[in-house]
Amino acid sequence: MGEQLEKIFDVELKPGAGENYVCNLTKPEFAEKMANKMPTEPLPDDQMVEVALKRLDQLRKERKSLQLYLDICVRCGACVKQCHYFLGTGDPKNTPVGRAELLRKVYRAHFTISGKLFGSLVGAQKLTPEILKNEWYKFFYQCSECRRCSVFCPYGIDQAEITMAGREVLNSVGLATKYITQVISQVYKHGNNLGIPEAAFKYNCQFLEEEIKESTGVDVKIPVDKEKAEILYLPPSADLFTNTDTMIGVAKVFHAVGADWTMSTYASEAANFGLFFSYDDIKTINLRVVEVAKKIGAKLVIFGECGHAWRAARQYMEAMNGPLPFKFMNILEYTAELIRKGKLKLDKSRNDDVIVTMHDPCNMARAGDLVEEGRFIIKSVCNNFVDMDRSVIKEKTFCCGGGGGLLTEEIMELRMKGGLPRATAVKEVVESHNVNYLAAPCAIDKAQLPLVMEHYEIPVQVGGIHDLVGKALILEGQEEFEAKKKAEEEAAKAAAAAVPSVCGLCDAEFATMDECCEHAEKEHKISKDQCDLACEPKEGAASAEAAPSVCGLCDAEFATMDECCEHAEKEHKISKDQCDLACEPKK
Amino acid sequence: MGVLANFVVNVLPYITFIVFVVGVIYRIAVWWSRPSPIPIAVFPGQRSVGSAIVRVLSDVIFFRSLLQFKGNRILWLGAWIFHISFGLILLRHLRYFLGAEAVPGWVAAVQGIGIAAALVISIPLLYLLLRRIVHADIKWISTPADYFVLLLILSVVFSGLYAKYFAHPFVIDVKYVMRSLMALKPVDLNTVTLNTAFLVHFFLVQVLAMYIPFSKVMHLGGIFFSPTRTHHFGGEAHTKQLEEA
């Protein structure tokens, strides 16, 4: 372990530091849609305590994990420095034990003999509306249910179980966050977390098909709502919008083996925010998947690169929605198996521009038993792979800081603080091994980690594993296409090189671009690779950046591509790197 | 003294026994009866019942979670020595309960190491107590009950050591008392030579035993029920399923 990583464990205790991070409360229009029936507004204070205690009593009787984890903690503190939110904030209420004690003290006061007899001497405290509103609501939403603490607890006490129960009690009195309830209500309405309507979902798939065709010359289908299919694929819906390279990689894999697959607009989301909210909602969201799979006769359901999707499937689906008439697996298992069997033609050198490290999504690793597959795939498609320190990978992986339903704007500061351990570990391999690609097979990671890396000024690109697979995978007919394209490009380049050129630095004119470049190298010490700094075609044809552009999403027109890109970033949340998703030169 | 001694020797033990046994059984029955339909194993996954059992036992016997890489190895050392010593001391004390005339050979065999454990145990106990005072974070999470149980065990240890090395109660009589209690026969205190040090030790032990069912000391039983450890992934079935697919 490097010094930098070592240092983050020297955390100074700052009681109260977590008090400022509060998620926005839900609104009635979201709350009313939850499968877990809850009051649409916080209950009046005089009703809160009674309702909450009733729910807590119910939950502890329904769940062995909760009952046991309320009972057996000895407060040894082994978990204290294993929680990223504590390491980031220093608030003792953000230690796993400190957070759990917020619930345990109430449990003891109301449901145990020693608590009733001895009160605060045994750490018991009666429930008040203030405890619910100021402690539980704040701190159970400063836990990402990453379960790292349970790896280090001598009894396997899992803070996620406490947090999940705490949140369900909060639901019962009308305290829930806007972010989570909004996402879940979007799933109930549109089938996915982002609230992408059916038409847009299909349009995006077509768009990606075109993109693959353009780059590979191969007709790769991204089927949606096929009536019958062997395989139902569930992507995190962000893969259709922001992490499109992951979706492209997956589609290429399916194409390469001729799989009969489809996605569904009714269940177009692998993720299951029910995990952050209630058992009822986990079950209801999973049910959509089961229904679709049954309807299309899928024999296999494959979950995309999404951490808690995999947990909801792997640990909850059979138990809650079973028996299941299909088999299910993760796309990492699927692709790894294909690679093992030699079914994919891979050219590792196509990923030679990246030096990769891998972030294990908490739920893939600790809850999903998937740590080797991702590494195996990366090593099969890349020449350069480096693992981070072994204290922060695999089952000991640190949360990105945005899991557990906390990926919301209002607690950005907390998210950055929670991302500190992961960022520090990444920084070490960036500095020691020049890592420039952080592979994170999880949509929440892909949204959170780029912000964390930017915040801590770590120059690394964040992407999926199938992004890399997509790059290395050679489809049938692709090489011919590429050869042809290359020939065409060279011809065009040759043609361009023959154009009369002018040196921008001294206005000297030349018959060809090559001559100008030679001049630039000789006179201005500009290497030929950077010749375009000096030389340009004489006519000075308008470059693409200066051409009038149009936004494909809203048809707005702009004088230059740059302006359009700015507009796309502002209005459509499309980063400038991906501006070409939206903007094109005006025809 | 007479009435009090009589209470500690002839009355309290039965209360202690009932409270301890009923309390422990009740607590375990509660855990036993709670449903646990969702398999929430935590990776490194137990892929079968067998590996889940190994996992639980390695936590019970070796405190593996603390011992693992980047666990808490100082705490492990303190906690492990404490628990092992406690176990050995309990074994040693069986000499007061087993065998009408001579103790069984194995109980005789653990006397030496049991006594050594009694001499050692206060060191990890003091460490466990000190860390709650010295480390700001551990201090913050500690409740009065956490100090109480450590102090209670320490007082049991010291009263025991004092009795053994300074007060010297007549051990034949101690055994006679225990055997009588086991036979539900009242002891006539005038016929035995017991001293205050023994009575204090015996009393504190009973307080500890009665405290156990109501306290965190029940972690000893709870660990066998912990779903993140006892559940397994059904990984074998999953892998097989993949191969078929």
Chain A positions touching B241 (Cβ under 8 A) are 327, 329
Dihedral (CA of A442, A447, A450, A452) sign: negative
Question: Residues near A230 by Cβ (< 8 Å), separated by ≥ 6?
Answer: A259, A260, A261, A298, A299, A300
**Å between A357 CA and nearest CA of chain B:** 21
Give the pLDDT band of residue A587 (cuts 50, 70, 90): low
CB A106 within 8 A of CB A126: yes
Task: Please list, residue by residue across A296-318, b when 16 or more beta carbons sit within 10 angstroms of its beta carbon and e when fewer do.
Answer: bebebbbbbbbbbbbbbbbbbbb
**Å between A364 CA and nearest CA of chain B:** 9
* Residues found in chain A: 587
Across the interface, do A156 and B79 touch by the CB < 8 Å criterion?
no
Q: Where in chain A is the domain with CATH 3.30.160?
A: 545-585
Give the pLDDT band of residue B241 (cuts 50, 70, 90): low
* Cα radius of gyration (chain A): 27
Would an 8 Å CB–CB cutoff place A314 in contact with chain B?
Answer: yes
Q: How far is CA A138 from CA A17, A24, A97, A143, B113, in A?
A: 12, 10, 15, 10, 51
Containing A439, the helix (H) or strand (E) segment is: strand A437-439
**Å between B11 CA and nearest CA of chain A:** 23
Chain CA centroid to CA A401, Å: 11
pLDDT tens profile B108-139: 999 999 999 999 999 999 999 999 999 999 99
Chain B positions touching A62 (Cβ under 8 A) are 34-35
Return the CATH number of A349-472, one of 1.20.120, 3.40.1350, 2.60.40, 3.40.50.
Answer: 3.40.50
Across the interface, do B40 and A320 touch by the CB < 8 Å criterion?
no
Main-chain phi, psi angles of A456, to 5 degrees: -95, 10
* Cα radius of gyration (chain B): 22
pLDDT tens profile A259-270: 999 999 999 999
Q: Where in chain A is the domain with CATH 1.10.1060?
A: 3-32+39-175
Across the interface, do A71 and B218 touch by the CB < 8 Å criterion?
yes
In B42-101, the residues whose Cβ lies within 8 Å of chain A are 42-45, 47, 59, 63, 65-66, 68-72, 75, 79
Measured between CA atoms, the residue of chain B closest to residue A6 is B70
d(CA B185, CA B90): 23
- DSSP class of B163: I
Chain B positions touching A161 (Cβ under 8 A) are 40
Would an 8 Å CB–CB cutoff place B142 in contact with chain A?
Answer: yes
Instruction: Tell which residue, A179, A194, A167, has the closest CA to residue A278.
Output: A167
Would an 8 Å CB–CB cutoff place A157 in contact with chain B?
Answer: yes
pLDDT tens profile A42-59: 999 999 999 999 999 999
CB A401 within 8 A of CB A416: yes
Q: What is the CATH number of domain B7-34+48-225?
A: 1.20.950.20
d(CA B168, CA B164): 5
Nearest to A92 among B42, B140, B242 (CB): B140
Domain A545-585, what architecture? 2-Layer Sandwich (3.30)
Q: What is the pLDDT of residue A178?
A: 97
Would an 8 Å CB–CB cutoff place B3 in contact with chain A?
Answer: no
pLDDT over threshold 60, residue B239: no
Q: Where in chain A is the domain with CATH 3.40.50?
A: 181-340, 349-472
Pairing type for strands A300-303 and A327-330 reads parallel
Would an 8 Å CB–CB cutoff place B39 in contact with chain A?
Answer: yes
At the top level of CATH, the class of A3-32+39-175 is mainly alpha
Return the CATH number of A181-340, one of 3.40.630, 3.40.50, 1.25.40, 1.20.1290.
Answer: 3.40.50
CB A286 within 8 A of CB A320: yes
d(CA A368, CA A311): 6
In A249-268, the residues whose Cβ lies within 8 Å of chain B are none
pLDDT tens profile A101-121: 999 999 999 999 999 999 999
Preferred mutation among B219, B236, B241 to probe A, highest tally of A CBs within 10 A: B219
Strand partners, A300: A231, A327
Residues B175-189, mean pLDDT to the nearest whole number? 93
pLDDT tens profile A386-423: 999 999 999 999 999 999 999 999 999 999 999 999 99
Across the interface, do A95 and B137 touch by the CB < 8 Å criterion?
yes
Instruction: Tell which residue, A312, A406, A445, has the closest CA to residue A85.
Output: A406
Nearest to B43 among A60, A365, A390 (CB): A365
Residues A4-32, mean pLDDT to the nearest whole number? 95
Q: Which of A442-451, A483-492, A516-525 has the lowest mean pLDDT?
A: A516-525
